[in-house]
Amino acid sequence: MGLLDGKVAVVTGGGGGIGKAVAERYLAEGARGVVVVDNLAERADAVGRELGDRALGVCADVRSWADNLRVVETAVEAFGALDVYVGNAGIFDHAVHVADLTGPELEAGFDEIMAVNAKGCLLGVRAALEPLLASRGSVILTASWAGFRPAGGGVLYTMSKHAVVGLVRELAYELAPHVRVNGVAPGVAPTTLRGIESIGQGAKPSLMPGTEDALPLKRVPETADYAGIYAMLASPDASLMTGFVVEADSGLAVR
Ligand code: NAD
């Protein structure tokens, strides 16, 4: 028996890193169907194919309301319901500091990163609301270590992930008792996240160490290490949890 037997999930940003690991784990935990969403068609298709009959790759942009609606309709049409919505698609900001950006760069960068990281989650959950209410389902949003403190990214990424933490809390309040809403705040993970390699290369060092030695648990996580947390939060084992963002940071909290 798996943690998610018979459940249907949507995982955005599922064409890469953490999202792909979550989709794999959901299927291993018995999910009846997982819709893997990515705005890069080749990633969505490849992961959809790789994960087999119970997975479906959909090319969609989380910034678009129409795309979010299409994703949810596809999930319900293909698998008959929607129980779990994972808002995970995200982009990074190359850890650039405010003084290194001009006004127009800030304006464009803010609009871009907020549209993917924050608005994408908001629109995705809204589009999924009807089937989630029907199934008394659950939402999990990917925040970040940078959702709680400075210097895990640049000014734009940090703002966008604080917005995700706020969204988890507000949605949990508004949607209780029908839909549980939680988040995961990863520390560091080896993925294709745009610009993640630039962490710590600016004028001031990042406070988010990515090396084994600097992490109290002495282990740089793999994407699969995060996936179990997403499985637990979506499962009946977390039935008393809503409004939490689980910080999975390799022990940085006790550094
Ligand atoms: P990743 O780049 O491997 O995966 C993100 C996926 O989202 C990519 O496949 C990308 O194509 C997709 N995507 C980007 N914009 C999109 C859009 N508009 N619509 C649909 N899909 C879109 O990176 P990842 O590290 O697995 O990132 C997953 C989440 O984890 C992100 O929200 C990221 O901010 C968060 N996170 C990552 C780290 C890390 O160290 N990698 C740390 C903390 C939080």
In a domain, 153, yes or no: yes
| Exposure string for 53-66, b = 16+ CB within 10 A, e = fewer | ebbbbbbbbbbbee
In a domain, 204, yes or no: yes
Question: Ligand 1 pocket check: which of 10, 12, 18 to mutate, most ligand atoms within 8 Å of Cβ?
Answer: 18
Domain that holds residue 247: 8-254
Mapped onto helix, strand or coil, the DSSP state of residue 38 is: strand
pLDDT class of 92 with cuts at 50, 70, 90? very high
In a domain, 213, yes or no: yes
**β-pairing verdict for 33-38 and 55-59:** parallel
Give whole-number Cα distances, 137 to 79, 85, 131, 134, 189, in Å: 15, 8, 8, 8, 28
Q: Which residue has the tokens 């084992």?
A: 237
Rounded mean pLDDT of 84-108? Answer: 97
15 alpha carbon – ligand 1 mean position (Å):
9
The CATH number assigned to the domain holding 74 equals 3.40.50.720
In a domain, 191, yes or no: yes
DSSP 238: G
- The per-residue pLDDT for range 178-228, each reduced to its tens digit, is 999 999 999 988 888 877 766 666 556 666 666 788 888 988 889 999 999
In a domain, 220, yes or no: yes
Contact between residue 28 and residue 2 where contact means Cβ atoms under 8 Å apart = yes
CA distance 77 to 39: 20
State the pTM of this model.
0.97
pLDDT at position 204, please? 65
- The per-residue pLDDT for range 36-64, each reduced to its tens digit, is 999 999 999 999 999 999 999 999 999 99
pLDDT at position 200, please? 61
ipTM topping 0.85: yes
- The per-residue pLDDT for range 128-182, each reduced to its tens digit, is 999 999 999 999 999 999 999 998 899 999 999 999 999 999 999 999 999 999 9
pLDDT at position 156, please? 98
Name the average pLDDT for the chain. Answer: 94
Residues in contact with ligand 1 by the CB-under-6-Å rule are 12-13, 15-19, 37-40, 43, 61-63, 88-91, 116, 120, 142, 144-145, 186, 188-189, 191-193, 196
Which residue type does 45 have? Answer: D
DSSP 37: E
In a domain, 137, yes or no: yes
In a domain, 3, yes or no: no
pLDDT at position 1, please? 87
The verdict on whether 226 is a catalytic residue reads no
